[in-house]
C-alpha cells in the first residue's frame, strides 16, 4: 500500500508519501512548508492568512512529496487528510485538495484526526506496542492519552488554559527572548539558577492529570516587573527566570505523568511513555520524563523532532493503522474544527474512567 498524506490544520502545509502497513511502514517523503514569516508581524497565526497560504501551497507540496518519493499520482493507492481539529479554513483547504486527487484518481479517501496522527507516531518511528501513555505537548495542545488501539484513545487530562508551548512563547516575550520561545528559554536557562525565584507548580495540589500554565506565566510577569531596571533586565536575572520557569514546567509535567500512570495502572500494563509535539524537543522535559519511565521500568519514546511537530507522514500513517477497521470516508468527508479524540471511540477501555 502506498499512501499520500496531507496536513494543513495550523500553520504548516505538509504532504508525505508512505509505503507499507500498520506497524511496518516506511516514510518515502515528508515535506513541510512553514508559514512563520507570513504571521511574524501579527504575534500569532492569522487563520485567514493561513488558509490562503495552504490553498496556494498544497499543490506544490503534494508535487514535491511525490517527486521526492520518485513516484507519480498513478502509484498512489489511497489518500489520507487531516479532517480536524484545527483552523477550519486550513482544514477545508486540505480536505478539498485531497478530495480532488481522490476523485480524479478513483482512490479511497480517509479523514484523519490530527491528534490521532500525533498519538500514533511512536508506532511508525519506534514500533511501540499498545497500550502506551502519550503526552502530547505543543504550541496548541497539552494532554495525556492512553493509546490502546488505532482508534482507541482515552484522554486522562490536559491543560485547562494555556498549552506549554504557548507558555514558553509568552514567557520568552515577557523576558525579552526571541521567538519561538521554547528553544530560546531552554538555551538561556542553561546559564541560570532554577531555584533563585519561587515560582508556582499549578494544580499539583489537586488530584488528577489536569494542568494549568497561565498562573505560572503571571508569576513570571510579576517577578520580571520587580527586576526591571530602566525597562530592561540584567542577563543573569533573565537566565535565572528562564531556568525557574522551565523547572516549574518540568516539575508539573513529570508529576502529572506519574499521576496519569497511577490512574491508569489498574486498567492495564503500560510499557511505554511517549511524547509528541514541539515542546518534546526540550531536553530538560525529556530527561524528567525518562526518569519517570525508569521508575516504572517502562521505555521512554520520543520520535525524531521532524515527526514530533506537525507533518503529513503521521496523517498517512494513522490512516494505515485505521483502515483495517473502518471504511474510507470518500466524498462525504467534511472538515471538523473541533474533534475530541475520544469522541471517535467512546466505549473503549470500558466505563471505568
Please give the annotated binding residues, written as ranges. 114, 118, 136-140, 169, 182, 186, 282, 310
Q: Please, which residues have CB within 8 angstroms of residue 298's CB and are 6 or more apart in sequence?
A: 270, 271, 272, 273
Name the binder of 168 from ligand ATP, Fe ion, none, CB < 5-8 A by kind.
ligand ATP
Residue 282 binding result from Fe ion, ligand ATP, none, given CB thresholds of 5 to 8 Å by partner type: ligand ATP
Nearest to 313 by CA among 72, 137, 121: 121
**Does residue 166 interact with Fe ion by CB under 5 A?**
no
Q: Is 310 in the site for Fe ion (CB under 5 A)?
A: yes
Which residues sit in the known binding site for Fe cation?
Answer: 114, 118, 310
* Strands (E) located in the chain: 2-7, 12-21, 24-34, 78-84, 109-113, 132-137, 142-149, 152-158, 272-276, 299-301
Per-residue cell: 197: 525565584
Residue appearing with cell numbers 503529513: 312
Phi, psi of 198 (to 5 degrees): -85, 105
Eight-state DSSP code of residue 332:
G
Which span sits near ligand ATP by CB under 6 A: 151-159, 237-245, 276-284, 335-343?
276-284
Q: Does residue 11 bind Fe ion (CB under 5 A)?
A: no
Which of the ranges 25-33, 61-69, 220-228, 278-286 carries the binding residues for ligand ATP, by CB under 6 A? Answer: 278-286
Quick check: 158 binds ligand ATP (CB under 6 A)?
no
Omega cis (within 30) before 85? yes
- Residue 277 engages ligand ATP in binding (rule: CB under 6 A): yes
> Residue 177 CB, nearest distance to Fe ion (Å)?
23
Q: Which is nearer to ligand ATP, 165 or 328 (CB)?
A: 165
Residue 19 · residue 2 · CB < 8 Å: yes
Closest CA to 334 of 118, 125, 81: 81
Q: Is 168 in the site for ligand ATP (CB under 6 A)?
A: yes
CB of 164 to ligand ATP, least distance (A): 7
Binding-site positions for substrate: 136-140, 169, 182, 186, 282
Nearer to ligand ATP, 157 or 328 (CB): 157
Residue ranges binding Fe ion (CB under 5 A)? 310
Amino acid at each position: 500500500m502506498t499512501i499520500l498524506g496531507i496536513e494543513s490544520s495550523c500553520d504548516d502545509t505538509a504532504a508525505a508519501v508512505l509505503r507499507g502497513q500498520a506497524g511496518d511502514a516506511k516514510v518515502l517523503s515528508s515535506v513541510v512548508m512553514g508559514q512563520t514569516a507570513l504571521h511574524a508581524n501579527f504575534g500569532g497565526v492569522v487563520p485567514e492568512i493561513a488558509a490562503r497560504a495552504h490553498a496556494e501551497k498544497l499543490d506544490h507540496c503534494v508535487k514535491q512529496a511525490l517527486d521526492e518519493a520518485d513516484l507519480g499520482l498513478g502509484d498512489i493507492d489511497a489518500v489520507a487528510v487531516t479532517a480536524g481539529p484545527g483552523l477550519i479554513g486550513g482544514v477545508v483547504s486540505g480536505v478539498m485538495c485531497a478530495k480532488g486527487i481522490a476523485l480524479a484518481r478513483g482512490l479511497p479517501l480517509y479523514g484523519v484526526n490530527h491528534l490521532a496522527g500525533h498519538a500514533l507516531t511512536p508506532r511508525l518511528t519506534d514500533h511501540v506496542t499498545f497500550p502506551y501513555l502519550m503526552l502530547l505537548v505543543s504550541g496548541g495542545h497539552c494532554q495525556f492519552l492512553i493509546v490502546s488501539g488505532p482508534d482507541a484513545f482515552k484522554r486522562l487530562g490536559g491543560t485547562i488554559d494555556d498549552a506549554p508551548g504557548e507558555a514558553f512563547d509568552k514567557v520568552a516575550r515577557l523576558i525579552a527572548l526571541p521567538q519561538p520561545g521554547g528553544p530560546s528559554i531552554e538555551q538561556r536557562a542553561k546559564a541560570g539558577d532554577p531555584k533563585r525565584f519561587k515560582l508556582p507548580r499549578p494544580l499539583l495540589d489537586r488530584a488528577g492529570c489536569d494542568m494549568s500554565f497561565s498562573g505560572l506565566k503571571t508569576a513570571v510577569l510579576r517577578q520580571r516587573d520587580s527586576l526591571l531596571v530602566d525597562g530592561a533586565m540584567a542577563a543573569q536575572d533573565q537566565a535565572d527566570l528562564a531556568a525557574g520557569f522551565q523547572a516549574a514546567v518540568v516539575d508539573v509535567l513529570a508529576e502529572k505523568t506519574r499521576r496519569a500512570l497511577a490512574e491508569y495502572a489498574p486498567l492495564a500494563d503500560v510499557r511505554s511513555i511517549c511524547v509528541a509535539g514541539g515542546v518534546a524537543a526540550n531536553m530538560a522535559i525529556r530527561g524528567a520524563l525518562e526518569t519517570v519511565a525508569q521508575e516504572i521500568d517502562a521505555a521512554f519514546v520520543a520520535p525524531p523532532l521532524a515527526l514530533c511537530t506537525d507533518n503529513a507522514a503521521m496523517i498517512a500513517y494513522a490512516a494505515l493503522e485505521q483502515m483495517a477497521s473502518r471504511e474510507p470516508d470518500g466524498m462525504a468527508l467534511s472538515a471538523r474544527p473541533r474533534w475530541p479524540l475520544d469522541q471517535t471511540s467512546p466505549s473503549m477501555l470500558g466505563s471505568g474512567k
